[in-house]
């Protein structure tokens, strides 16, 4: 079944529009500078992809954890990793903080950074102070060392809590209440402080595990690793100490579910270009539906005419002439004439030349006699290119004169 030209044109138009919309949408999706998530998937200034890539080049096994914190126990199979929770966009609740504390008790190492991890930080005996939006950012420096020439800034710091337990509620009308007992660390190392001497990053030694608490994830961002002295400091702090580092990505919005179809449908639902593509597809569908029906009276089918016997003979003679089998073509046409004029069941094995000579006695018209003489000449002499056509015409004249 052949498609109509207007249907093909409509399909091509829809494909071109869809291709253009995908290109424009992908170009729009690449502008990640405004993405402020401290995720190892984000290559913008506020992302942490540079840290993940650098650790990978330093022979550290880098993984991404894209499931709920209730499944953190799966990470403890094999060598205990360092789980990095960098200022999650979806803040941790009390239940998730309790699950992180359990992860540490089971032998895992943990790094908490930023206000998004505030609830989990409280489970290890520290509170987050300051406000990054209204506070004055202060320069950071290693504890006990000289100030960095070019270092990151933050308006947040850590203070110790006097509570022995933390109660946190979440869910509708405080339906879910979780409690975590503050772990007593064996030792506390101050790693980074601000210009006022307040701790910004600590390392706690808890039951054989290491817990890093950072008031801000700015130290781990792509911009800090590239433009400040925090880059070498952080890499020296992690590389060689932990052969396996896992970045928590679930709370940055990078869940494990979803497919390419889901992503495309989601983009078409929230992007103006996607809405435009939906409208174009609707118009194209209506156009195809209208083009599928023919309106008006039905056209009569074309009649198929069969070729006459003479046309068949001419076609056969042309084919044999092209193969340079002129003598064979002439003999075959004369044998075919003899077979049609002979009674049924009679054996026709004798030479055809004497039969052509006897044929002159049976023809009735001058045209037939001339045709027999033409056949006799062609049978006894060399046949040129036009001889095949002459033989075909002569055979037809004799047949018209002698046919039953």
pLDDT band for position 340 (cuts 50, 70, 90): confident
- 246 with 315, same domain? no
The answer on pLDDT for 31 being more than 50 is no
CA atoms within 13 A on the CB side of 205: 6
Residue 203 maps to a domain: yes
pLDDT reported for residue 1? 44
Residue 229 maps to a domain: yes
Of residues 183 and 251, more confidence is placed in: 251
- 57 with 143, same domain? yes
Q: What is the CATH number of the domain that holds 84?
A: 3.40.50.880
pLDDT band for position 9 (cuts 50, 70, 90): low
- 132 with 226, same domain? yes
- 318 with 246, same domain? no
Residue 124 maps to a domain: yes
Residue that terminates a domain, selected from 220, 252, 284: 252
- 114 with 45, same domain? yes
- 82 with 198, same domain? yes
Residue 11 maps to a domain: no
The pTM score is 0.57
Residue 379 CA: distances (Å) to CA of 323, 357, 370, 400: 19, 11, 14, 21
- 205 with 315, same domain? no
Over residues 161-198, the pLDDT tens digits come to 877 656 565 544 444 566 777 878 899 999 999 988 89
- 316 with 228, same domain? no
Residue 12 maps to a domain: no
Calpha distance 21→53 (Å, rounded): 32
Q: Cα–Cα–Cα angle for 166, 171, 173, nearest 5°?
A: 95
Q: Structure tokens of 96?
A: 């998730």
Number of domains in the chain: 2
Range of the domain at 375: 309-402
Whether the Cβ atoms of residue 359 and residue 398 lie closer than 8 Å to each other:
yes
Residue 275 maps to a domain: no
Residue 295 maps to a domain: no
Calpha distance 73→200 (Å, rounded): 29
Residue that terminates a domain, selected from 252, 283, 300: 252
Whether the Cβ atoms of residue 198 and residue 182 lie closer than 8 Å to each other:
no
Residue 24 maps to a domain: no
Over residues 117-160, the pLDDT tens digits come to 999 999 999 999 988 777 788 888 898 877 776 778 899 999 99
Proportion of the chain above pLDDT 70, given as a percent:
80
- 321 with 240, same domain? no
Average pLDDT over residues 209-233: 91
The answer on pLDDT for 34 being more than 80 is no
Of residues 294 and 390, more confidence is placed in: 390
Residue 297 CA: distances (Å) to CA of 5, 42, 236, 289, 294: 20, 63, 84, 19, 9
């Amino acid at each position: 079944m052949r498609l109509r030209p207007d249907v093909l044109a409509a399909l091509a138009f829809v494909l071109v529009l869809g291709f253009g919309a995908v290109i424009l949408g992908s170009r729009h999706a690449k502008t990640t500078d405004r993405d402020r998530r401290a995720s190892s998937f984000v290559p913008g200034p506020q992302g942490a992809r540079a840290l993940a890539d650098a650790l990978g080049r330093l022979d550290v096994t880098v993984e991404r954890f894209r499931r709920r914190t209730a499944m953190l126990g799966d990470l403890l199979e094999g060598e205990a990793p360092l789980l990095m929770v960098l200022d999650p966009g979806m803040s941790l609740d009390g239940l998730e903080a309790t699950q992180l504390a359990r992860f540490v008790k089971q032998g895992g190492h943990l790094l908490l950074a930023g206000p998004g991890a505030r609830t989990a930080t409280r489970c290890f005996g520290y509170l987050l102070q300051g406000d990054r939006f209204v506070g004055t950012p202060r320069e950071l420096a290693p504890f006990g060392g000289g100030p960095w020439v070019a270092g990151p800034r933050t308006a947040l710091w850590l203070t110790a809590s006097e509570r022995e337990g933390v109660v946190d509620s979440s869910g509708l009308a405080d339906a879910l209440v979780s409690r975590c007992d503050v772990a007593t660390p064996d030792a506390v190392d101050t790693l980074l402080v601000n210009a006022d001497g307040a701790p910004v990053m600590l390392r706690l030694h808890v039951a054989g595990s290491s817990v890093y608490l950072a008031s801000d994830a700015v130290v781990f961002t792509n911009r800090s690793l590239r433009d400040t002295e925090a880059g070498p400091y952080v890499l020296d702090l992690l590389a060689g100490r932990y052969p396996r580092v896992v970045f928590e990505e679930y709370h940055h919005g990078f869940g494990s579910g979803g497919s390419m179809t889901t992503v495309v449908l989601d983009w078409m639902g929230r992007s103006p270009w996607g809405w435009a593509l939906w409208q174009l597809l609707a118009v194209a569908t209506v156009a195809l539906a209208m083009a599928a029906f023919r309106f008006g009276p039905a056209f009569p089918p074309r009649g198929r005419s069969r070729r006459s016997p003479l046309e068949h003979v001419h076609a056969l003679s042309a084919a044999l002439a092209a193969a340079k089998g002129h003598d064979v073509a002439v003999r075959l046409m004369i044998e075919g004439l003899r077979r049609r004029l002979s009674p049924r069941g009679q054996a026709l094995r004798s030479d055809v030349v004497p039969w052509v000579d006897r044929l002159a006695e049976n023809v009735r018209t001058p045209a037939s006699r001339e045709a027999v003489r033409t056949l006799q000449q062609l049978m006894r002499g060399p046949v040129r290119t036009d001889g095949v056509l002459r033989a075909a015409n002569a055979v037809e004249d004799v047949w018209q004169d002698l046919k039953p």
